[in-house]
Structures are given as C-alpha cells and as structure tokens.
Amino acid sequence: MLKLAKEVAIAAAYEAGKAIKERFGALSRIEEKDEHGDLVTEADTLAESIILAKIQGAFPEHRIRSEEFGDNENKSEWIWLVDPLDGTNNFAVGLPVFAVSVTLMHHSVPVLAVIYEPLTDRMYTVVEGEGAACNGKAIAMPAVKPLSKARVGWIQGHAVQNAEDAVRLRHYIDVSTKRMLRLWAPTLQWCMLARGDLDGIIVYNSDGEDLYSGLLLAQEAGAAIVDFEGNPFTGATSRPYLIASHPDHTGYFLTMVRTGMRQS
C-alpha cells in the first residue's frame, strides 16, 4: 500500500507544483482568510484540487485533511495531510520560497511524506524506516560538529502571534545563535535541517497540515525530535512544542529553550 501511496503523492505534488509555478508572479486573486492575515490564492485552491483528486482516486476510503478544503471526515486509520502551497505569503509577494506538502499518517504517526519545491524542481520523499531522499538520492544529516553559534529555524503556529512566552524565547534564540531563520515556509526549513544546512529547529505550538512531512523527513535523515521536556516524539499532538537537531545536540538545544523560557 505504501508503495502505491508514495507514487500517488509524488505524482500529485509534481502536478500541483507545476500549476503553482505557472502562476508565480501572475496572480489574479489574493484573499485574506483569517484575522492573522494569512492568505489564500487561486494557486492554493487549484493545487489542492489536483492533489485531492489524485488521492481520492486511489484511496477513496482514506480520510483527508487539507489546508483549504478541510476534513472529509472519513472514518479511517489512514489520514492524508495536505498543504497545497506551504509559503502562500511568500508566493503572493513574489518571494520564491514555497513548496507542496503531502503527508500520510497511520494511527496518528507519519509514515510517508513528499515535499516538492517547484522552482528548484527538488522532490523530497520519505517513508518511515526507509530513510530520506531528494530527487531519488539519499540525504542524511552530516556528522556532528561542535556548536558555538548555531543556525536555527523557528516555526510557530499562526495563533501564537506575539504571545509573551513566545516572544521571550524567540528573542533569546535570536541573540544567542549565529542566525535564527523564519522562512514563512516551514517545510523548507525541515528540508534544510535534513540536508545539514540548519543545526536545529524549534517548533512553538505549530500544528498544521505542513508539520509532519518535514518532521518525518528530518527524522529519517537522522534528526532527533523531542518536546520541550526532552521526551521523544512518538506521534501527532495537538500542541507541538518540539526541538529537532542532530542527536548529539539535543542537550544543547534543550538548555537553550529552557534558559530562554526563564528569561524575564
């Protein structure tokens, strides 16, 4: 089943990505969809319709939860999470940093994911227990190196905004690292971690359709994923507060987060 699911996910992401690329810089519709200023465009809805048609055609009994369409509420142990355009705000302002994200969960655990970056034609694929790949070539986090000033990705949920604890931690990380990166396209930060271009990622209460594809990719590339208490990631949670890094750096980032949370 996973072999077919992977083929379907790759085909869906590629076709959706092609449609998105054709509309980059040529949008006719941009709308705000919530009070936080998050956007939706015709590229989002077109890409989503392409992906949903592919999945529903192959697995009509599966549950699907998608960024714009919502939840089909099928009763199934399998659930697809679809973000047809991760980085819509970037896309809308002409910033070429966005991707398509498709994840398959089994009993709330990510088992397969595809992330496609259409402008660079990079297709990231991952199956639980089989490692991570980009365009068919295996990728893995490089050997651990000492950290004096880390490069860290920060991911927070839309509803977090400028919550006091989040601002405090965000500021501490910003001034304590070589660079804190916020891409507005979280899946691509996970790809950077998997390649070794980031040293760690801090997730502050960000639960969405784009979370688990990148998380599985990084995990299969060798990253350790723990919560803010140091407990290993075991499956989906409604309040993700997570740290991802090379296993040898987990203590380093746990100390950073705990110190930052205590700052007055």
115 and 174 together in one domain:
no
Q: What pLDDT shows up at residue 30? A: 64
Neighbour-count burial of 4, counting CB atoms closer than 10 A to its CB (0-12 exposed, 13-18 middle, 19+ buried) = exposed
- Three-class SS of residue 184? coil
Q: How far apart are CA 82 and CA 6, in angstroms?
A: 14
196 and 216 together in one domain:
yes
Q: What pLDDT shows up at residue 106? A: 96
Q: What is the mean pLDDT of the chain?
A: 92
Closest CA to 123 of 236, 18, 1, 244: 18
Considering the domain boundaries, does residue 28 fall inside one? yes
**197 among annotated binding-site residues:** no
At a CB cut-off of 8 Å and minimum separation 6, what does 116 contact?
A: 10, 13, 14, 16, 17, 99, 100, 122, 123, 124
Considering the domain boundaries, does residue 36 fall inside one? yes
117 and 225 together in one domain:
no
| Mean pLDDT within 116-132 | 97
Tell me which of 139, 161, 189 is where a domain ends.
139
User: How does pLDDT run across 144-179, given as a tens digit for each residue?
Assistant: 777 878 999 999 988 888 888 999 999 999 999 999
Question: Which of the two residues, 46 and 68, has the higher pLDDT score?
Answer: 46
**44 among annotated binding-site residues:** no
pLDDT above 60 (res 138): yes
CATH number for the domain spanning 166: value is 3.40.190.80
Q: Give the chain's domain count.
A: 2
12 and 131 together in one domain:
yes
**85 among annotated binding-site residues:** yes
Considering the domain boundaries, does residue 146 fall inside one? no
Of the pLDDT bands very low, low, confident and very high (cuts 50, 70, 90), residue 123 is very high
Of the pLDDT bands very low, low, confident and very high (cuts 50, 70, 90), residue 241 is very high
The residue segments making up the domain with residue 197 are 151-262
Location of structure tokens 């949008």: 27
Q: What pLDDT shows up at residue 264? A: 46
Q: What pLDDT shows up at residue 39? A: 67
127 and 164 together in one domain:
no
User: How does pLDDT run across 192-235, given as a tens digit for each residue?
Assistant: 999 999 999 999 998 888 899 999 999 999 999 999 999 999 88
Considering the domain boundaries, does residue 126 fall inside one? yes
Considering the domain boundaries, does residue 113 fall inside one? yes
**34 among annotated binding-site residues:** no
Q: What pLDDT shows up at residue 38? A: 65
Considering the domain boundaries, does residue 145 fall inside one? no
**42 among annotated binding-site residues:** no
Q: How far apart are CA 92 and CA 26, in angstroms?
A: 9
Tell me which of 139, 173, 201 is where a domain ends.
139
> Do 114 and 213 contact (CB within 8 A), yes or no?
yes
* % pLDDT > 90, the chain: 78
Considering the domain boundaries, does residue 144 fall inside one? no
> Do 193 and 218 contact (CB within 8 A), yes or no?
yes
According to DSSP H, which parts of the chain are helical? Answer: 2-23, 42-58, 88-92, 164-176, 186-195, 211-220, 250-262
38 and 161 together in one domain:
no
Tell me which of 101, 119, 139 is where a domain ends.
139
CATH number for the domain spanning 133: value is 3.30.540.10
Q: What pLDDT shows up at residue 147? A: 81
pLDDT above 90 (res 21): yes
Considering the domain boundaries, does residue 183 fall inside one? yes
